[in-house]
């Protein structure tokens, strides 16, 4: 079942008698639990046409580098194979996605696309909807509750969004029926960028190669489900108690796969609910409420990637304390090289550089300390965002932008006033030592 609230018509064109139904896959890079794909197949079967899926690779996506492209191509390679098994071709074009979508639309009845929330993703879809003379139907597939169904405005915090989502959850926690395409046309041929060999494909891209790929995380739905299986079997039961402890490793490690749409949040949620574990509620709070709060943020706040996106109270209190004395001041290069006096912060930075992820609790500490050790909070915000986007596999997305902004007071409340931070929540090394065996975390990072 594809809930009608997930579907939006992006233009007012009428269908043509084309050769196929085009499914533009960009944000939801998977063959399973993909509402946009299944809707395209439904329409194709109704119109007695084959389905063609396309993906556009641009080597100019903002702040993406070899680390991100490697992970993405590994996932696309698996998706292409899975689609082929269903008799659906995945045509990959080495050109900006919106241009590829327009080009392949010329022989299509209509176009179905998934949904992205970032500025560039929305610009792509707007361009296509204005350039083609066929209907463009956008189907939301990377959240549980469609964003406008949950709220029609930017939410102040999780506390304001949670009740709105909760009352709708049962309506949207519904399995996605796998549709089998009834029609194929083996005479259709397309030029496609080859990803049969990921290394060769990477070599043909003109991309930033300053950040190397990582070995801990391999892209694709199969790898995502292995992490999910491990999490449910070994971690979910103790998630509520141990998720914040950096000395342990009780995170799901699914955020990179969610970032690239290689696994659906709906599939994850349904699997977790089936487990009937004591950690269920805490994990679903993160997966649904907190994650979809980040979607709400980037969708309704046009300045989501700037310091000006912060709440007025946060900007004001930080401005009041700009002149406060800072015991340590570090440059962006020193941050990047993990060259601070703090071994815990350095470990967090090195975990990110080595693996493409930071333990969630340490990511908060990491951002707070950049604020403390930089001359101006706006400069600190920019440094944190650049480093996060450069090294994190799950950076450059709503969760990444929201995670950095949270360190500066976004979606949080005012606390007791103190130097530098003003009323923005403060974290320090003593707190880490008091709560956790933090030195064990440092040792674990050293062995990576």
DSSP letters along 342-367, please? -HHHHHHHHHHHHHS---HHHHHHHH
In the chain, CATH 1.10.579.10 sits at: 307-446
Q: What is the pLDDT of residue 119?
A: 97
Measured N-to-C along each axis, helices 398-407 and 360-372 cross at an angle, to the nearest 10 degrees, of 50
Per-residue buried b or exposed e for 29-63, using 16+ beta carbons within 10 Å of the residue's own CB:
bbbbbbbbbbbbbbbbbeeebbbbbbbbbbeebee
Cα–chain-centroid distance for residue 346? Answer: 25
Where in the sequence of the chain do the CATH 1.25.40.80 domains occur? 143-178+220-300
pLDDT for the residue 205: 97
Indicate where the chain has its CATH 3.40.50.620 domain(s). Answer: 1-141
> Which phi and psi (to 5°) does residue 144 adopt?
-75, -55
Q: What is the pLDDT of residue 160?
A: 98
Q: Give me the CATH code for the 307-446 domain, please.
A: 1.10.579.10
pLDDT of residue 388: 98
Q: What is the pLDDT of residue 419?
A: 98
Series of mean pLDDT values for 10-residue runs along the chain (448 residues): 95 96 98 98 97 96 97 98 96 98 98 98 98 98 98 98 98 94 89 97 97 97 98 97 96 98 98 97 98 98 98 98 98 98 98 97 98 98 98 96 98 97 98 98 96
- Superfamily name and number for 1-141: HUPs (3.40.50.620)
What Rg, from alpha-carbon coordinates, does the chain have? 22
CATH level 3 topology of 143-178+220-300: 1.25.40
d(CA 330, CA 416): 26
User: What was the pLDDT predicted at 1?
Assistant: 73
State the Cα–Cα distance between residues 31 and 38, nearest whole angstrom.
Answer: 9
């Amino acid at each position: 079942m594809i809930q009608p609230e997930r579907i939006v018509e992006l233009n007012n064109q009428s269908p043509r008698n084309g050769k196929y139904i085009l499914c533009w896959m960009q944000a939801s890079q998977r063959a399973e639990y993909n509402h946009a794909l299944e809707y395209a197949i439904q329409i194709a079967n109704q119109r007695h046409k084959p389905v063609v899926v396309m993906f556009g690779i641009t080597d100019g996506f903002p702040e993406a580098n070899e680390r991100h492209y490697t992970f993405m191509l590994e996932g696309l390679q698996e998706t292409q194979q899975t689609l082929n098994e269903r008799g659906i071709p995945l045509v990959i074009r080495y050109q900006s996605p919106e241009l590829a979508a327009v080009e392949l639309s010329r022989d299509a009845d209509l176009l179905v696309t998934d949904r992205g929330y970032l500025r560039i993703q929305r610009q792509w879809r707007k361009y296509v909807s204005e350039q083609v003379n066929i209907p463009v139907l956008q189907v939301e597939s990377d959240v549980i509750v469609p964003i406008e169904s949950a709220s029609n405005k930017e939410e102040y915090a999780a506390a304001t969004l949670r009740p709105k989502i909760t009352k709708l959850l049962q309506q949207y926690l519904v399995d996605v029926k796998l549709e089998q395409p009834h029609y194929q046309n083996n005479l259709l041929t397309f030029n496609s960028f080859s990803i049969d060999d990921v290394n060769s494909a990477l070599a043909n891209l003109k991309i930033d190669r300053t950040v190397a790929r990582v070995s801990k995380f391999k892209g694709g739905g199969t790898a995502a489900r292995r992490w999910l299986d491990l999490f449910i079997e070994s971690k979910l039961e103790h998630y509520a108690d141990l998720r914040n402890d950096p000395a342990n490793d009780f995170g799901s490690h699914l955020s990179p796969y969610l970032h690239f749409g290689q696994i659906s949040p709906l599939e994850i949620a349904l699997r977790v609910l089936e487990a009937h574990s004591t950690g269920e509620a805490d994990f679903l709070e993160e997966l649904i409420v907190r994650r979809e709060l980040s979607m709400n943020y980037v969708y309704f706040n046009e300045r989501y990637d700037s310091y000006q996106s912060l709440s007025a109270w946060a900007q004001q209190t930080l401005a009041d304390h700009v002149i406060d004395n800072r015991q340590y001041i570090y440059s962006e290069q020193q941050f990047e090289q993990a060259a601070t006096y703090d071994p815990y912060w350095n470990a967090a930075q090195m975990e990110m550089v080595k693996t493409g992820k930071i333990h969630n609790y340490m990511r908060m500490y990491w951002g707070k300390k950049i604020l403390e050790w930089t001359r101006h909070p706006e400069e600190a915000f920019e440094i944190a965002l650049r480093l996060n986007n450069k090294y994190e596999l799950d950076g450059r997305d709503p969760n990444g932008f929201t995670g950095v902004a949270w360190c500066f007071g976004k979606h949080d409340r005012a606390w007791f006033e103190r130097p530098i931070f003003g009323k923005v929540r403060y974290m320090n090394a003593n707190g880490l030592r008091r709560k956790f065996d933090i030195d064990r975390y440092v040792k674990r990072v050293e062995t990576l």
